[in-house]
Amino acid sequence: DIVMTQSPDSLAVSLGERATINCKSSQSVLYNSNNKNYLAWYQQKPGQPPKLLIYWASTRESGVPDRFSGSGSGTDFTLTISSLQAEDVAVYYCQQYHTTPRTFGPGTKVDI
């Protein structure tokens, strides 16, 4: 199984400041046939299901604000919130969908 790790476990950021979350996979999630990284980022607020933010490591899902961006390739990935808003307080998870089982990272809690 591909093991996903995230850092930090939690972080507190001032409103309008940048938040950066890291995700690492134990094996590459790059699909050679299409040169796409099969890595997604989700946001989960209390009492709600997860919401897809980013897929293919860097493609924003429709309707997701452009302050959210993803980067990285292979085994190392980053989610950046360029200017934190109050509504961004949540737990953020990365997930690889390169291989079954589809494993999630442990999550990073973002607070103000």
Partner 1 sequence: QVQLVQSGAEVKKPGASVKVSCKASGYTFTGYYMHWVRQAPGQGLEWMGWINPNNGDTRYAQKFQGRVTMTRDTSIRTAYMELSSLRSDDTAVYYCARDPPHHGADVWGQGTTVTVSS
Nearest distance from residue 20's CB to partner 1, in Å?
20
Query: Which residue, 17 or 64, is less far from partner 1 as judged by CB?
Result: 64
Cα angle, residue 82 at apex, residues 93 and 2 outer, rounded to 5°: 25
Nearest distance from residue 85's CB to partner 1, in Å?
22
Rounded CA-CA distance 65/73 in Å is: 22
Are the beta carbons of 23 and 103 closer than 8 angstroms?
no
Query: Which residue, 18 or 28, is less far from partner 1 as judged by CB?
Result: 28
* Closest CA relative to residue 110, chosen from 94, 83, 91, 93: 91
Q: Note the residues at the interface with partner 1 (CB under 8 A).
A: 1, 34, 36, 38, 40, 42, 44, 49-52, 54-56, 61, 93, 95, 97, 100-107
Query: Which residue, 83 or 106, is less far from partner 1 as judged by CB?
Result: 106
